[in-house]
A and B are shown apart, each in its own frame.
Chain A
Amino acid sequence: MSNPIISLNHIDVTFYQKKRTIEAVKDVSITINRGDVYGIVGYSGAGKSTLVRVINLLQEPTNGSVVVNDETFFQADKETNKKIRIKTTDLRNRRRKIGMIFQHFNLLNERTVTENVAFALQHSKLTPDQKKVKVTELLKLVDLTDRAEQFPSQLSGGQKQRVAIARALANDPEILISDEATSALDPKTTNQILSLLKKLNEELGLTIVLITHEMQAVKEIANKVAVMQDGEIIERGSLLDIFAQPTQQLTKEFIETATNIDKAIATISSQPLVQNLNDNELFIRLSYVGATTDEPLIAGLFRDFQVTANILYGNVEILQNTPVGSLLVILSGTDEQIKAATSTLADHHVEIEILKGGK
């Protein structure tokens, strides 16, 4: 089922400056399958941008190999000092099949919207008339038909990014690299851009590599996630796995930014209800993924074990059409009752974390 379109193997990117060397990317291997929306998350300086620039060789790696569509773009071996590099003209042709959008849009300021998109078609084999049609179609796709003759300075951030998307799609690429494309936009515009990307992924089968420091963006559209720190991928997996069972501290931090559950725990813990927990009460966090929640588990706790559950806070995310939730609950009942209740919850793959015990 896996059908890799991009594979980066043992990529190192080292910058040599006068007195120091900076290892921006350290031995990173990553495989991205056709049709994936692959989110790469990390703080600035983690090496995300450098890593994705390796895909279309805007950044040449110091070591490792780059294979796109089963074609080796680049291969370098530190030990033997041998390098294989795709021919420059071929690279230019391949780059046309790898669209790229940027945080600051990077539009040509002295060209109109139409000219910006047409710039990407300079070397296309289409006739001038076909190019015109193509540009019109692209502008329609990103909903900017009425802005065709305006200059970038006359557009809003979201509109500029849509022009950039139209330009990136001009040569019908199979891959779209998004380098912090929504980071300079407000939340509403961010969502518009993200749903446009999602649509492109679903309708055109476009493979998207999404770099961002916003977990929100990843949560919306990615199916796979890698977390980068100090030039290395510290955790990776499907969106659901990462959200449900993060293992690294940094991953947890990022997820917290999207769910705010830790903040909720802190707030609720300071409330009298939790401060003055009775002996027979237990303040816990329930985390669950997917189907479990179809069953009325909470209601079942009272019915089957006479344990009352007071829900203080709940957060449910729908990721990849699967609910992922966290509940902050106070359970009350006898020791035996609570023990029986929690073991039933565990049987249903609900993760239980005891935040504060009554005794």
Chain B
Amino acid sequence: MTKWFSDTFPNVVYQGWTGDTGWWTSIVQTFYMTFWSAIFGGILGLVFGIGLIITAPNGIAPNKLLFWFFDKIVSVFRAVPFIILLAFIAPFTKLIVGTQIGTTAALVPLALGVFPFYARQIQVALAEVDSGIVEAAQSVGASFWDIVFGVYLREGRSEIARVSTVTLISLIGLTAMAGAIGAGGLGNMAIAYGYNRFATDTTLVATLLVLIFVLVVQLIGDYLAKKLSHK
């Protein structure tokens, strides 16, 4: 079995398990990048998404200037292709994490790359919350934060779970590009050690591992979205 494996996938075995170019290292790098950029990008996206909903002309705290600000920032960042964003914000990355290459350095462009997408998704998810429910909450004297947390986020939680899943999956896609600034990860494995070296078996296994990761995220996300909905 082991012999068959090393005969069929020689390059996969060549990469090794640990070490700088090992499989385990790549898996951990992908997890690391996905996790932390999801946290930072997620918080930023939530803030902008909620901001877009509440400052909108029909929101609970309409504010033209703030809405314009949220809207434009999100639009501009969304418009920049990720691979260009990586390079473009390198000086900013260095300012924040002290270096512009490596896995940790990738977190900055990843978070900035994913947040506008997530913000739009959150905006759409929260727009689904019936304005009548918001009005009913106001009629019983609910405060601003009661409505943000108790109505929008609570009522929208199933939709939020759904759009978070979509975002997380697209984020996993972005981590593959982070290899361009030496961030490692499974994407980099597939391109740098697989495709560029004509090691098709390495590309195949790296792709399979990414697929499994995506699939698990999708399954958990679907489960949560269903579990959280009582509509």
Q: Within 8 Å CB of B141, what residues of A?
A: 92-96, 120, 123, 171
Known: A108-B155, A109-B230. A123 touches B139 (CB 8 A): no
Selected from A58, A92, A93, A98, the residue in CB contact (under 8 A) with B135 is: A58
Q: Within 8 Å CB of A109, what residues of B?
A: 133, 155, 230-231
A274 vs chain B, min Cβ distance (A): 50
Selected from A92, A119, A122, A153, the residue in CB contact (under 8 A) with B231 is: A153
Interface size class of A (residues with CB under 8 A): 20 to 34
Is A305 part of the binding interface, using a Cβ–Cβ cutoff of 8 Å?
A: no
Taking a contact as CB atoms under 8 Å apart, the answer to whether A120 and B130 are in contact is no
Taking a contact as CB atoms under 8 Å apart, the answer to whether B138 and A106 are in contact is no
Taking a contact as CB atoms under 8 Å apart, the answer to whether A95 and B140 are in contact is yes
Q: Within 8 Å CB of B150, what residues of A?
A: 108, 119, 122
Taking a contact as CB atoms under 8 Å apart, the answer to whether A58 and B139 are in contact is yes
Once the chains are docked, how many angstroms separate the CA of A111 from the CA of B135?
16
Main secondary structure, interface of B, reads helix
B59 vs chain A, min Cβ distance (A): 14
Give residues 132-178 of B contacting A (CB, 8 Å): 132-133, 135-143, 146, 150-151, 154-155, 157-158
Is A167 part of the binding interface, using a Cβ–Cβ cutoff of 8 Å?
A: yes
Taking a contact as CB atoms under 8 Å apart, the answer to whether B143 and A107 are in contact is no
Give residues 108-163 of A contacting B (CB, 8 Å): 108-111, 119-120, 122-123, 151-153
Taking a contact as CB atoms under 8 Å apart, the answer to whether B132 and A106 are in contact is yes
Taking a contact as CB atoms under 8 Å apart, the answer to whether B154 and A108 are in contact is yes
Is B85 part of the binding interface, using a Cβ–Cβ cutoff of 8 Å?
A: no
Is A47 part of the binding interface, using a Cβ–Cβ cutoff of 8 Å?
A: no
A116 vs chain B, min Cβ distance (A): 9
B159 vs chain A, min Cβ distance (A): 11
Known: A110-B154, A122-B146. A95 touches B133 (CB 8 A): no
Is A168 part of the binding interface, using a Cβ–Cβ cutoff of 8 Å?
A: yes
Taking a contact as CB atoms under 8 Å apart, the answer to whether B142 and A107 are in contact is no
Q: Within 8 Å CB of B157, what residues of A?
A: 110
Q: Within 8 Å CB of A170, what residues of B?
A: 140
Is B204 part of the binding interface, using a Cβ–Cβ cutoff of 8 Å?
A: no
Q: Within 8 Å CB of A212, what residues of B?
A: none
Taking a contact as CB atoms under 8 Å apart, the answer to whether B140 and A119 are in contact is yes
Taking a contact as CB atoms under 8 Å apart, the answer to whether A100 and B139 are in contact is yes
Q: What is the interface size of chain B, counting residues whose CB is below 8 A from a CB of the partner?
A: 23
Q: Within 8 Å CB of B230, what residues of A?
A: 109-110, 151-153
Considering only CB atoms, which chain A residue lies closest to B228 in the complex?
Answer: A110
Q: Within 8 Å CB of A153, what residues of B?
A: 230-231
Taking a contact as CB atoms under 8 Å apart, the answer to whether B154 and A100 are in contact is no
Selected from B140, B154, B231, the residue in CB contact (under 8 A) with A96 is: B140
Taking a contact as CB atoms under 8 Å apart, the answer to whether B133 and A107 are in contact is yes
Taking a contact as CB atoms under 8 Å apart, the answer to whether B132 and A104 are in contact is yes
B147 vs chain A, min Cβ distance (A): 11
Once the chains are docked, how many angstroms separate the CA of A96 from the CA of B157?
26
B181 vs chain A, min Cβ distance (A): 41
Taking a contact as CB atoms under 8 Å apart, the answer to whether B130 and A106 are in contact is yes
Is A39 part of the binding interface, using a Cβ–Cβ cutoff of 8 Å?
A: no
Known: A109-B155, A110-B228, A153-B231. A123 touches B143 (CB 8 A): yes
Taking a contact as CB atoms under 8 Å apart, the answer to whether B139 and A108 are in contact is no
Is A56 part of the binding interface, using a Cβ–Cβ cutoff of 8 Å?
A: yes
Once the chains are docked, how many angstroms separate the CA of A109 from the CA of B229?
8
Q: Within 8 Å CB of B139, what residues of A?
A: 56, 58, 95, 98-100, 168, 177
Taking a contact as CB atoms under 8 Å apart, the answer to whether B136 and A164 are in contact is yes
Once the chains are docked, how many angstroms separate the CA of A273 from the CA of B231?
58
Q: Within 8 Å CB of A99, what residues of B?
A: 139-140
A231 vs chain B, min Cβ distance (A): 21
Give residues 204-231 of B contacting A (CB, 8 Å): 228-231
Q: Within 8 Å CB of A171, what residues of B?
A: 140-141
Taking a contact as CB atoms under 8 Å apart, the answer to whether A120 and B140 are in contact is yes
Q: Within 8 Å CB of B132, what residues of A?
A: 102, 104, 106
A135 vs chain B, min Cβ distance (A): 13
Once the chains are docked, how many angstroms separate the CA of A174 from the CA of B222?
45
Taking a contact as CB atoms under 8 Å apart, the answer to whether A108 and B140 are in contact is no
Q: Within 8 Å CB of A152, what residues of B?
A: 230
Q: Within 8 Å CB of B133, what residues of A?
A: 106-109
A206 vs chain B, min Cβ distance (A): 15
A280 vs chain B, min Cβ distance (A): 62
A126 vs chain B, min Cβ distance (A): 14
Once the chains are docked, how many angstroms separate the CA of A219 from the CA of B93?
71
| Residue among B135, B137, B138, B140 facing the most chain A CB atoms (10 A cut-off) | B140
- What 6 new A-B contacts, CB under 8 Å, besides A110-B230, A167-B140? A93-B141, A95-B138, A96-B141, A100-B139, A102-B135, A177-B139
Q: Please provide the 9 A-B residue pairs with the shortest distance between their CB atoms, ordered closest to farther.
A: A106-B136, A120-B140, A100-B139, A96-B141, A106-B132, A151-B230, A92-B141, A95-B141, A106-B133
Q: A residues touching B (Cβ–Cβ < 8 Å)?
A: 56, 58, 92-96, 98-100, 102, 104, 106-111, 119-120, 122-123, 151-153, 164, 167-168, 170-171, 177
25 pairs across A/B with beta carbons < 8 Å? A58-B135, A58-B138, A92-B141, A95-B138, A95-B139, A95-B140, A95-B141, A96-B140, A98-B139, A106-B132, A108-B155, A109-B133, A109-B230, A110-B157, A110-B229, A110-B230, A111-B154, A119-B142, A122-B146, A123-B143, A151-B230, A152-B230, A153-B231, A167-B136, A171-B140
Q: B residues touching A (Cβ–Cβ < 8 Å)?
A: 130, 132-133, 135-143, 146, 150-151, 154-155, 157-158, 228-231
